[in-house]
A and B are shown apart, each in its own frame.
Chain A
Amino acid sequence: MTKRVLCINPRGAGGLHELWARRLSARLQTVDVTHYNVDRSLPLPATRRAVAGMLRSSPWDLVYQEGNGFAAGTALIAAARRRRQCFVVSSGDPIAGFFQVTRWRFGEIC
């Protein structure tokens, strides 16, 4: 049976994350890939609901999220807990880890 992969692009249509996800998935000839571009005009709770709806819409074998966007990420955490949704995160932006590492150091420098 064909595997189904959902690519979530939290930075919306036309962003570099989307282009990168498409470039990667274009090589997957035997996998059913669906790209979902988050609508950046929506507020955070609505975005989260939209992503959660997308995750529920089909039994995805794998979800790939480009970037660690909060709205999509929290929907993925919930899906992983409720339905054991398997997902992978790819990120180039530090969020909390960065805060934890740098919280005092830059203060000291300055």
Chain B
Amino acid sequence: MALWGNLLSVYEKQLYPACAGFIGWTLYLTGAALRLGARRAVTVEGTIDPEVFVSRTPEARLRYGLGLRHLVCGLVGSLRWTLRQHYGYGWELVQTLKRVQRPDVFQLIVGDGDGRPRLEATLPEELRALAVFTGRLPETAECRYCVHQFPLAPRLLRFKAYALAARTARTDFSGFDVLHAHGDNYLLDGRHPQVRTFYGSARDEARFAVSLRRHLYQWLMIGLENRGARVADLNVGISEATRARLPRIQTIIPCGVDGERFRPCARADKASAPTMLFVGTVGGRKRGAFLADLFSRTVRPRFPNAQLWSVADAPLAGEGIVNFGKVTLETLADLYARAWVFCLPSTYEGFGVPYVEALAAGTAVVASPNPGAREVLCEGKFGVLASDETLGEALCDLLGDAGRRDALAAGGLARARDFSWEQVAARYEQVYADLLGRTRHDQEKAA
């Protein structure tokens, strides 16, 4: 170990002087790097991923025998024991337990190694329950991918859709078995086998566009979209509504929802006052402003303590409206679960992922009868479809009828299972396998 330590010491003495700069996660590390020869160094604290490290539900604490009011310290690392130093990661934590000796202070030690039994043996019997050893835990779900980020000059940002198509057309994809495009593949001629997924149709987007500019843009995209469908070997649509507009779509595979993240909360955790949730944009086809107006005119007079929670690109104005702005996925899942009703009065949705997320969160859904909502909600079987004239009344009825909300939530949970990531991934795997089989068959035939 001493040899290894000295080798690493030599390594670091070579690494830091050679680098142009060092970024340390703590002042100690930054100082050490400077001492070892780094020319420049800066401390950037708190380098964690807020999407991964979020506050978990109480179940996560209870799983490891930690009470909700216990003070928990801890570490994550490799519990290797260094004989010469008589030290291993976690040593200080275990020692503090001996000094503190409080039944409400716990040490959570994540990791494994030959130091673990030594750490455990250090503690007297009566304190062992206060040190929780979890063993190795996965950091995140395993994924195997590589991302290439195409650069874009600032002046071209407004044309990024076209620029991306041009750049991908110049990219060598020969090392891949299947090319799967989720848009802008209209220049990818001759790249086989190729799958294209359509998340809606430009024709419908153009039809429901609220600005002339957007309308013209979508009309231009219609031709490119059709060309993209011709270029691909297999076209997937996310809904029957999309297939109706793009007849080249052969298979329907819906969008998925993360059932681990979007799930119901306990009844006691639902909002105490009648609450509606909106997720979308204030303007455009999502019509947040329209819903805010409806809420003020129709819902608030009937339910004076009602709230409209808005997760949108801009604030909505009105009494009882709570603007959350843009939120993390964890917060979004929490809002879905705690709201009484979710309402998204879009004029057009190719599929409508927010509807599925609300269903998975066990919240009753109210929607305008757009193609995506009609399909996800099975023509109103799993949620309420209401025209603009009846939308206000439908919201009031649902906010005042707990039994109906519960019935819709129960049905919605069953419906949400049709959109689990497991099912979606399995169907895409099947598509890839079929396409590869077909390509091999064609190649053998040609040979």
Contact = CB atoms under 8 A, between A and B. Distances in A.
Contact of B149 (A32, A62, A98): A32
Secondary structure call for the A interface: mixed
Interface string A96-110: 111111110011001
Contacts of B47: 20, 90, 92
B144 A14 contact: yes
Given A94-B29, A99-B9, A19 B22 contact: no
A68 B33 CA distance: 11
B149 A16 contact: no
Interface string A48-79: 00000000000000100000101001101100
B87 interface: yes
A88 interface: yes
Given A16-B52, A29-B157, A92-B47, A107 B36 contact: no
Given A32-B151, A106-B86, A95 B12 contact: yes
B14 A77 contact: yes
Contacts of A74: 11
Contacts of B16: 89
A74 B15 CA distance: 7
Interface in B3-57: 5-6, 8-16, 18-26, 28-29, 32-33, 35-36, 44, 47-49, 51-52
A82 to B, nearest CB: 11
A40 to B, nearest CB: 11
Contacts of A94: 28-29, 32
Contacts of B11: 70, 73-74, 95-96
Interface residues of A, number: 51
A96 B11 CA distance: 8
B49 A2 contact: no
Contact of B22 (A91, A101, A107): A91
Nearest to B49: A19
B152 interface: yes
A30 B49 contact: no
A46 interface: no
A88 B143 contact: no
Contacts of B146: 13, 35-37
Contact of B18 (A26, A77, A97, A101): A77
Interface stretch (B134-142, B202-210, B380-388): B134-142
Given A2-B151, A88-B23, A100 B9 contact: yes
Contacts of B91: 106
B69 to A, nearest CB: 29
A44 interface: no
B8 A30 contact: no
A20 B49 contact: yes
B51 A81 contact: no
Interface string B351-380: 000000000000000000000000000000
A14 B140 contact: yes
Contacts of B9: 96, 99-100
B432 to A, nearest CB: 19
Given A30-B152, A73-B11, A89 B23 contact: yes
Interface string B82-106: 0011110001000000000000000
B51 A19 contact: yes
A25 B149 contact: yes
Contacts of B25: 90-92
B426 interface: no
A34 B149 CA distance: 6
Nearest to A31: B151
Contacts of B148: 33-35
B400 to A, nearest CB: 44
Nearest to B85: A106
Interface in A2-50: 2-3, 13-16, 19-20, 22-23, 25-26, 28-37
Interface of A: 2-3, 13-16, 19-20, 22-23, 25-26, 28-37, 62, 68, 70, 73-74, 76-77, 80-81, 86-92, 94-103, 106-107, 110
25 contacts: A14-B141, A19-B51, A25-B149, A29-B151, A29-B157, A32-B150, A32-B151, A34-B149, A35-B148, A73-B11, A73-B15, A77-B14, A80-B18, A81-B18, A87-B20, A91-B29, A91-B33, A97-B12, A97-B29, A97-B32, A97-B36, A102-B85, A102-B87, A103-B84, A103-B85
Interface of B: 5-6, 8-16, 18-26, 28-29, 32-33, 35-36, 44, 47-49, 51-52, 84-87, 91, 139-154, 157
